[in-house]
Structure 1
Amino acid sequence: MATPAAPKILFYSHDTFGLGNIRRTLLLAETLGAAYPRGSLLIVTGSPMIHAFRIPPRTDYIKLPCIDRTTADRYRPAFLTMQAGEVAAIRRGVLEHSMLAFAPDLMVVDKRAGGIEGELIEPIRALRRRHPLVKLVLGVRDILDEPSKTRDSLKRTRDMAIIARYYDEVWIYGERAIFDAVTEYGFPPDVSAKTRFCGYLKRPTQPPRRHNGPPRVLVTTGGGGDGTDLIEAYLEGLIALPRSVALETTVVFGPQMSLADRARLLDRFAMLADVTFVEFESDLTERYASADIVVSMAGYNTVCELLSCAIRAVLVPRTKPVGEQLLRARLLAARGMFDLVEPSELRPDRLMATVLAALARRPASRTIDLDGLPRIQDRVRALLNGTDT
């Protein structure tokens, strides 16, 4: 095992749909790498997109075979034509070998205490036996899914028992006053005692860029795998505007939008002179600084970026395969932080009317806890030093 000044930190990011898990993991790796300049950090991930992001200093990664989520707790191989059981065995074997060989001082698991379909359980047992001093943390975004569905899922996967037996802490990357996961998801007392609400994870920002001319709109749907309807509704609404209303728009497709959907959108809308189409950018910080308003889904990372930038936004959350985006968007919209278009009400006229109304108002002031990263640094220091704060 390494010393507290030069720790070995292992991250597990299972990654199925979208970019949220791996982006959050890379942010944590960058933050902890900066806090421990002599540390070594390793990410074990199933993300098909990790190569598209900047990897933080002193951080490396091991790639697991990709899987897709078909329902909340069901998965299948994404690319390999092998049987699901064979792919699961490969992932489990890579995980166990990596964890035991790296021998981390701290392991941070994203969202799934037992991993996808329990793939982490045996590796964690083996790690605990061979390296009993390792600290194990489960990191959870503010909202997993609707409370009743999440309770059922946690029961099926036996996550509460796994956390109680093997984990030292649970970090919730959110604010309890907005959504109390401990209560809503029915954490038992032994897990509740290990749980800490860290706050939302603030992202780097740039000063807003002043400009002359019409308002600038940024339309982004994260990975883009299910963003076609949102982009199409916005562009149809844009075309229908009277000539007296002008907007400059940038549309970011996302790396997981299908080639067919991308081609169809470009065939219909590429002729629009006031619209710029971008395939993908791993860092939208400059785009946020140049925009007057953002139209987006309501994924955790996107919302953290919007909160960090204090920019106007219209949220159109997805509802499948889980309902966390809809719940998050409703809670934040009820506090006046964003405008919301319900997925069932996504029509070009409705969306464009909401965008124009938001542009006509001053940006709302927001009071929300964005100190998650400093608190995580404090928790890591306490765990590695064997102290509590």
Structure 2
Amino acid sequence: MTEHFPFGLLFETEALELITQVRRAKPGALIVSSVRDVIESERGSSRDVHICTLLDQYFDLVMVHGDERVVALRASFPLIDQIAVPLVYTGYVVAPPVPARPHDGPPLLVGAIGGGRVGQELLSALAAAHHKLVPYWPHEMLLFRGAFDQNTGFSFAEGDMLRVHTFDRVEYRKVLTEAAGVICLGGYNSVLESLSMSLPTLVYKRTFLGGNREQALRVELFAASGLVRSFEEVDLVADRLAPVLHEHFSTGHVTTTGIDFHGADNACHILLTACVSRQPSK
């Protein structure tokens, strides 16, 4: 199984050589391309044609870790009909949601930037918006610095119902059980973990260096489905962001009924079924 390849062509030579050696050693091996819900496509370019050719030549199956009813792969890869090998959606791969718990106090908003290599400007903007908003709409805010955000120079004055923690996954998931809403970047894990717990989610559509639009595409597609609301860099000032926070979270509800969040279990079933079907009959 490959992760993202050949939709991303990094280490193409090495990956193809490995697949070729596997085929020689075990001709009946199942070769699977595993890809997230949104990819960066050049929208019908020769590169996309090449990706389709590699899939048909080297792979037996494509597993898309998403729900076609929410975001279809063709939305970010329009040449999907040129892929001849079977393509299946597994549903979203997220940890099983933890049951919600009542929060002792005013509504709790959680801001996070995942790993934290980028996005510190979001935390700074949330802190400023919180201080502006809290006198008019009492709420608590807990900001999670990224796991890799140790020496960026960003600092936050705690107090006035604002707390700042370094990201810890166990603590983060525990906090989500009491949260009234989440503000995050548009990464797969950040968005899906929040939605899997039916939390109102506000997503910062950040511009990334190098023109990488995976997160922007995901945010646009999820927003079009009504699952999240987004804001952009121009909104990272307290006077603009505070009203957005109040409007989105004071009513507090999101409907995720019908979305498949069982991607891990479904993927296991798909792989086992495919492997059994390739075994020679006795």
- TM-score, normalised via structure 2 length: 0.86
Shift in Å at residue 153 of structure 1?
8.2
Note if contact 2:116-2:147 (Cα within 8 Å) is conserved in structure 1. Answer: yes
Does residue 338 in structure 1 map to residue 228 in structure 2? yes
**Cα contact 2:55–2:85 (8 A) shared by 1:** no
Partner SS for 1:116:
coil
Q: Secondary structure at the match of 2:79?
A: coil
Instruction: Please name the residue that 2:167 is paired with.
Output: 280
Aligned counterpart, 2:196: 308
The alignment status of 1:353 with 2:243, answered yes or no, reads: yes
CA shift, 1:134, in A, is 1.8
Cα distance per residue 1:43-78 (max 9 Å; x no partner): xxxxxxxxxxxxxxxxxxxxxxxxxxxxxxxxxxxx
Q: Residue 191 of structure 1: CA displacement?
A: 2.1
Alpha-carbon separation, structure 2, partners of 1:287 and 1:153: 46
Contact 2:103 / 2:179 at 8 angstroms: preserved in 1?
no
Q: CA deviation at 1:181?
A: 1.9
Unmatched runs of 5 consecutive residues or more in structure 2: none
* % identity of equivalent residues: 24
TM-aligned CA deviation for residue 278 of structure 1: 1.5
RCO comparison, higher one (Cα < 8 Å, 6+): 2
Picking from 45, 60, 64, the partner of 1:168 is 60
Distance 2:160 2:260 in 1: 40
Letter in 2 for 1:307: L
What pairs up with 1:165-314 in 2 under 5 angstroms?
Answer: 165-182=57-74, 184-187=76-79, 189=81, 191-241=83-133, 243-257=135-149, 259=151, 261=152, 264-266=153-155, 269-283=156-170, 284-314=172-202
In 1: Cα distance, 2:20 partner to 2:216 partner: 36
**One-letter code aligned to 2:4:** K
Question: What one-letter code is carried by the residue in structure 2 that aligns with 1:219?
Answer: G
How many Å apart are 1:332 and its aligned residue? 1.8
Matched, 1:136 2:31: yes
Matched residue pairs, number? 273
Aligned residue identity for 2:253: P
Tell me, yes or no, if the aligned pair for 1:164 and 1:190 is still in contact at 8 Å: no
| Pairing partner for 2:17 from 122, 125, 130 | 122
The answer to whether residue 265 in structure 2 is matched with residue 374 in structure 1 is yes
Q: What is the CA–CA distance in structure 1 between the aligned matches of 2:123 and 2:175, rounded to whole Å? A: 17
Q: Deviations over 1:152-200 (max 9, x none)?
A: 48449x3322211111100111122333324752436562442112222
Q: Which residue of 2 aligns with 1:109?
A: 2
Per the TM alignment, residue 275 of structure 1 is displaced from its structure 2 partner at its CA by: 2.1
Deviation at 1:386, TM superposition (A): 2.1
- Quickly say closer, same or farther: Cα 1:353–1:210, change in 2 above 3 A: same
Of the three residues 314, 327, 331, the one matched with 2:217 is: 327
Change in Cα spacing, 1:151 to 1:270, as seen in structure 2 (3 Å) is farther
Contact 1:219–1:251 under 8 Å retained in 2: yes
* CA deviations over 1:75-112 (Å, ceiling 9, x no partner): xxxxxxxxxxxxxxxxxxxxxxxxxxxxxxxxx21112
Amino acid at match of 1:265: F
Structure 1 residues 241 and 205, CA gap change in structure 2 (3 angstroms): same
Q: Which amino acid aligns with 1:130?
A: A
Instruction: Trace 1:24-63 onto structure 2 (pairs within 5 A).
Output: none
Gaps of 5+ in 1: 1-107
* Paired letter, 1:117: F
Moved more, 351-360 or 214-223: 351-360
User: Is contact 2:56-2:85 (8 Å) kept?
Assistant: no
Q: Do the aligned partners of 2:195 and 2:201 also contact (CA within 8 Å) in 1?
A: no
